[in-house]
Structure 1
Amino acid sequence: MKSILHGRLIFGLLFLFLALGSFADGRYIPVYDDGIRVDYKHYCLGFNKEHKQANWVYYELGSANLTGKASRKNDFRVDPKISRWSATPDDYKRSGYDRGHLCPAADMSFNAKAMSETFYMSNMSPQVPMFNRGIWKELEEHVRNRARKEKLYVVTGPIFKSNKGAIGKGKVTVPGYYYKLFYSPSKQQMIAYVLPNEESRRPLNSFAVPVDKVEKMTGIDFFSQLPDDLERVLEADTLSHVSRDGGQASGGSYRPTRNQQIIAVIAVIVIFLVVHFLIKHRGGKKKKKKPTRKPVKKTGMSKKSIKKNYPH
C-alpha cells in the first residue's frame, strides 16, 4: 500500500514539474492580435497576411542550439501551414532583394528538421542584399556569441514604416526597418535594436534602443509575462553599453522571474513532502504503552470483624 502511495506521489510531482515546465517554455511569446500564430518544433511566429511575412518570430537560444552540425540545404519553400497566404520563392526572383531569415538557420543548426523549418517562406522577409550580408549578419552573430554564454529569449521581425514597395505576384512588402531584441534572465537584461533596411557601416551599438520604443513602432507587446515592475525598468533602458557583451544592467534588485518563482514553489513542495515522509515513517520509535495496573485488594480485617473477634 505504501509503495502505491509513493508511486502516485512521484507521478504527481513529475506531472506538476512537466506542466509547469511547458508553461515556462512558452511564457515570453509576444502579444499581438493582428496575425496568425504558427508553431514549429523549435520556434514560432505571428504571420501577417497583408504583408506576406511574419510580424515576429520567437525562439529560445542557448549554447545547446549552437553545437550541432546540421548542414544548410537552402530548401526555400511555401509554408504548408499557411499555404493560402504564404509567399513563394518566385516572389523573390529577380526582385533585387535577399530572402532574409528572421529566425536564422544557424540558430537551429543543432537539428536538421529545425534548420529545415527556418526555410519556410513565412520566415523570410525581403532584405537589401548588403544589409542582409552586412550589419544584419553581424547582429545575428553577436546574439549567437552571447547565447553561447547564457540562455536568451529572442524576438525578431520587420517594422512596416517607410516601406520600399512590394515584390512578386504575391505583393510581398519590403519593410523599411527591422528589429531584433532579446531578454537574458540570468543578467536581468533586455537589449533591442532597430536597423533600417539598407547597407550600413555604423557600429552595432548605435542601433540599440529601448524595448518600449520597438513596442510603439510595431504595436507588439514583448515579454508581457514578466513582473510588471521588472518589465517597465528593463524595457525603458536603452542599454547602449552592449559593448560590454553582457554587463549587468543598471538598477536595483528585482523580483524573481516567473521561472524562478515556479522553481521555488516546487522546491518548497518537495521539501515539505520529504519532511512529512521522514516524520511519519522514519521518526522515533513509538512509545510503549504502560501496562495498566489492577487495583490491589487490601488485606486486613474490617471494622466489623475486629469488633467481633476482639470485644472490649
Structure 2
Amino acid sequence: MKKIILTLFSLIAIQALTFGQQEVKTNDGKTVLLYEDGTWLYADSIPSYNIKVTSITKLELPKTNFKDKIITHTGYSLLYNETHEQANWVAYDLTKEETNKLFERTDKFISDQKVKTGTASDKDYEGSGYDRGHLAPASDMGWSSNSMAESFYYSNMSPQTPSFNRGIWKKLEELVRTWAIENNTVYVVTGPVLTNGLQTIGPNKVSIPNYYYKVVLDYSEPNIKGIGFILPNIGSKEQLQYYAVSIDSVEKMTGIDFFPLLQDDQEELIEKTLCIKCWSWKNIKTTSEKDENKATESVQCNGITKAGDRCKNKTLNLSGYCYHHEGQINSDTPKSNTEEIKSYPNKTTKSSSSSSQCSGTTKTGSRCKRMTTSSSGRCYQH
C-alpha cells in the first residue's frame, strides 16, 4: 500500500495520539493515519495479500545479534535486559487449543534461574505501588503446569500501574486470546519500551516503562495479517483500536525487528499495513477469563503491613490478599503479635485450645465478632 504526501487531501477531525500517530478523516469520510514524516495510510482498507504460507520454525522470535542470549521456557522465549531488570521482549505462539486453561494460576512469583545475572525480586515491588505486570499473560500459559509456573518468573514481569495492568492491558490480552481462537494460531511479541532515564523501583532499580507494545501476526491462510499496539503505562477508557498501529511503527519506536524469518516481500507488506477491519474487536470469554479467582464480594485483605497491622485494603481475590500483599500468600508467618496472626486463615498456624476472634468478614464488610478454636482462624459460618 502506497504512502502519499498529505497535501493531496483536504483533511478534517484530527485527533492526536500519544505516540505521534494522528487519525484523520477525509472529506469523503475515509479514515487515514498520519505519521510524523507527513505520510499516511488508510486505516480501514483491507489489503489483498497474495502470500504463500510456508512452515517457519520459531516464527515469533525477533531478530537478535550474535551476542544476544535468548532464554527459552516452556511457553515463551525472552531476551533479558540487565540494565532495566526486565525483558526487552517476550515472544510466543498461541494456538486455539492453548486458550483452554487446564491449570490454575500459581501466584508464586520467583526469580528466573536462567538469567545468570539475576532478576528482580519481591523486595523491588513491595510497597512500590506498581503491579508485577505479566508480559506473557498467565492466562495464555494455562495449558501446562510448567508454562503456568514459569509465567510467574520475574523475568516475565514489568512494573505496571494497577489501572493499566488490570484495565486496558488486560483487555488487550483477552483480545489476543480471541484472535487465537478465531485464527487457530497467532504469533505474539510483547514488552516494555525501554529507554534511558526511566524512573526505577526497588533495590535492583527496576525501570518503570512509560509505554508498552504488543505485535500480533496471523500467518494462516486465507487472511494473513499483522497488527501492533503502543500503549502508555496509565489507565485508559479508550477503545483498543485507538492504540493500534502498524508493526513498522512499533519497530520504529522500539528498534526491534519483528518476524525477521518471513520472506522479505511478505514482511514488508504485512508490517507496513494497518487494517482495522481485518480483526475482530469483541472478546470471546474463555475458561481462563471467567473470574474464577474472584469473589462476589470484596473482603478486607489478610496481609500484614510493615507496622505489623492488618492491611485495610479491600480485595476480590479469593486468596484474601490485595495486590500489595500477594507476596505473603503461602509465605512464612510474619513477625507480629502471635494472637493477631492466629486470626489469618492463609497463614500456617498451630492448633490452639484457646479461642480467638474469627477472621471472617461479614456481608457488611466488618470482621466477624465470633470466637473460634479452629486452627483455620474462622468460625463455622466462615
The answer to whether the superposition gives a TM-score over 0.5 is yes
Identity %: 42
Question: SS at 1:25's partner residue?
Answer: coil
- Conserved 8 A contact 2:101-2:139: no
- Conserved 8 A contact 1:62-1:149: no
Match of 2:147 in 1: 114
Tell me by how many angstroms 1:69 deviates.
2.0
Tell me by how many angstroms 1:214 deviates.
0.8
Aligned counterpart for 1:32 among listed residues 60, 64, 71? 64
Q: Which has the higher strand share?
A: 2
- Conserved 8 A contact 1:205-1:242: no
Match of 1:190 in 2: 226
- Conserved 8 A contact 2:225-2:278: no
Tell me by how many angstroms 1:239 deviates.
2.2
Q: 1:24 to 1:119 in 2, by over 3 A?
A: same
- Conserved 8 A contact 1:210-1:236: yes
Q: Residues 109-146 of structure 1, C-alpha deviation per residue, up to 9 Å, x if partnerless?
A: 11111110010000000001000000000000000011
Aligned counterpart for 1:141 among listed residues 167, 174, 181? 174
Structure 2 counterparts to residues 210-229 of structure 1, below 5 A: 210-229=246-265
Aligned counterpart for 1:177 among listed residues 190, 203, 211? 211
Question: SS at 1:81's partner residue?
Answer: coil
TM-score normalised to structure 1 length: 0.68
Structure 2 counterparts to residues 287-302 of structure 1, below 5 A: none
Match of 2:186 in 1: 152
Match of 2:51 in 1: none
C-alpha distance in 2, partners of 1:55/1:245? Answer: 27
Large movers: runs of 4+ above 4 Å: 161-164
Q: Which has the higher helix share?
A: 1
Tell me by how many angstroms 1:242 deviates.
5.4
Q: 1:42 to 1:159 in 2, by over 3 A?
A: same
C-alpha distance in 1, partners of 2:281/2:269? Answer: 20
Tell me by how many angstroms 1:227 deviates.
1.2
The amino acid of 2:263's aligned partner reads P
Q: Which runs of 5+ in 2 are unaligned?
A: 1-54, 283-382
Corresponding pairs, count: 224
- Conserved 8 A contact 2:60-2:189: no
Task: Give the RMSD, CA atoms, in angstroms.
Answer: 1.8
TM-score normalised to structure 2 length: 0.56
Q: Does 1:234 align with 2:270?
A: yes
The amino acid of 1:180's aligned partner reads K
Match of 2:162 in 1: 129
Structure 2 counterparts to residues 63-78 of structure 1, below 5 A: 63-78=96-111
Bigger Rg, structure 1 or 2: 1
Q: Does 1:104 align with 2:156?
A: no
C-alpha distance in 2, partners of 1:147/1:232? Answer: 23
